[in-house]
Copies of this chain bind each other. A is one copy, B any other.
Amino acid sequence: MDQFLEYVDKHQNDFVERLRKAVAIPSVSGDPAHRPDVFKMAEWLVEELKSLDAVVETRDLGKQDFHGTELDLPPIVLATVGTDPKKKTILVYGHYDVQPALLEDGWNTDPFTLVEDENNRLIGRGSSDDKGPVLGWMNVVDAHKALGLELPVNIMFCLEGMEESGSEGLDAFIFEEADKYFKDVDAVCISDNYWLGTSKPCLTYGLRGVSYFHMKVKGPAADLHSGVFGGTIHEPMTDLFKVMSKLVDVDGKILVPGIYEHVRALSDEEQKTYDDLSFKMEELHDAVGSKINIHDSIRETLQCRWRNPSLSIHGVEGGFYSPGDKTVIPACVTGKFSIRTVPDMNPKEVSALVVKFCQDEFEKLGSKNKLDVHCTHDGNYWLSSPDHPNYVAAAKAVETVYKVKPDLTREGGSIPVTLSFQDALKKNVLLLPMGRGDDGAHSINEKLDRSNYICGTQLLGAYLYEVSQITL
């Protein structure tokens, strides 16, 4: 392993060049004009993987309906390096598409030209999300090939081109291939999230789920003039505000009865995991751009992000939303809100509680308007354990490369593919991030620090060594 670590360090610039080439392909999956670039990116990966002696194939996912236009979905790139039955097989997932980026959005440099600044930050769209990590795995294979070393495990790549646009077709593919292409997989590792802060690596073992709701109130047949009808009819907007204002209090407590019933109690043991995290309130203030935190301690703040449910109101469809003044009584309005769910909440139960609460509160109003409230989609929370050998191996790898114990973190958002792999393959999934919390993955001036890219490549390789040694 030492030979490998040294090689990576010495060949930094080759790896940065590889990242430069990848960033130069504007594989924006959300923009139909860039769809050919997403395909180009897939081809580039196929060639690159072949040059590393991987056995590569692509899988067609069919067509996408993009607001009425049919678009070809980018392929899944599958690659295998090594098929030794005596070795473990580790499946690594990543995505080769990126978020949109335009110079005029406020980038300091062209987003698709990788630039290294005076602080050795590699700036460019996709540098951190997720081309850097994907290339990290390839760098590991590259280094072994150059050194004439055997890899400690068989690596299987599953690379997607639609992650930033809803991962269309991916879930079905994973379940379809679970006992085919993926049948020999022993564990999964995904490098597509971030350190908690900016100074310390982490392993991520939990994600919140999300249940999204539409609450529609329908009254008149068409929008009405408030001068003529104001005061004479039940107004849908009034009803909507009445009911939605009862969902959550200002301090984030959800007011739907029963919603906290199955939220797992905080054990002393879990409480301790919040003791020594590398995160400061200033980092929250910087990210928010304002000091509107509900809690003053890191502990409570992170517990609210990671292990407590939350409810956010996103907006209203059907009302007047433009600048200026318009005296309309909207005929039909739909309030949008979502609940982040945590262990051991059950999405079906959450949905039933929320729907019933809204219906009851609406009933109490005595309005003659019509209410329809339903859950439009839900995704379950995901929770692994830092005690699982897959995580223990990763923790050892962090200590080898960074000389520190990793933070053990969860995240407030969802990465649905995590749960899909776990459910389909029935194997442990590890989230092992490469970038820092301030990389600005979906913002302007996205960056990946050179040290994160290089040490991250070492980390991914070290993890393969550790996991090859452990009993899963």
Which residues does A use to contact B, with CB under 8 Å?
Answer: 208, 210, 212, 219-222, 224-235, 237-239, 241-242, 244-246, 248-252, 284, 287-295, 301, 304-305, 308-317, 319-323, 325-330, 336, 338, 340, 365-369, 376-377, 411-414
Contacts and interface: CB of A to CB of B under 8 A. Distances in A.
Given A221-B289, A222-B289, A289-B220, A315 B316 contact: yes
A320 B314 contact: yes
Interface centre among A230, A311, A366 (most CB of B within 10 A): A230
Contacts of A322: 317
A410 to B, nearest CB: 11
A292 B228 contact: no
Contacts of A377: 325
Nearest to A231: B310
B288 A224 contact: yes
Nearest to A218: B290
B210 A295 contact: no
Contacts of A292: 219-220, 233-234, 367-369
A319 B316 contact: yes
B250 A366 contact: yes
A220 B288 contact: yes
Interface centre among A250, A320, A414 (most CB of B within 10 A): A250
A288 B229 contact: yes
Contacts of A309: 231
A378 B238 CA distance: 22
B326 A314 contact: yes
Contacts of A290: 219-221
26 contacts: A208-B227, A210-B227, A212-B325, A219-B288, A219-B292, A221-B288, A225-B413, A226-B338, A227-B412, A227-B413, A228-B412, A228-B413, A231-B252, A231-B294, A231-B310, A233-B292, A235-B252, A235-B313, A237-B313, A245-B245, A292-B368, A292-B369, A315-B319, A315-B326, A316-B319, A317-B321
A305 B229 contact: yes
A376 B325 CA distance: 8
A322 B321 CA distance: 10
Contacts of A239: 250
Interface centre among A304, A310, A328 (most CB of B within 10 A): A310
Contacts of A301: 232
Given A231-B412, A305-B229, A319-B314, A250 B237 contact: no
Contacts of A226: 310, 312, 314, 338, 340
A222 B442 CA distance: 13
A411 B230 contact: no
B233 A293 contact: yes
Contact of A232 (B238, B252, B289): B252
A245 B327 CA distance: 18
Contacts of A336: 320, 325-326
Interface centre among A237, A252, A314, A376 (most CB of B within 10 A): A314
Contacts of A329: 312, 314
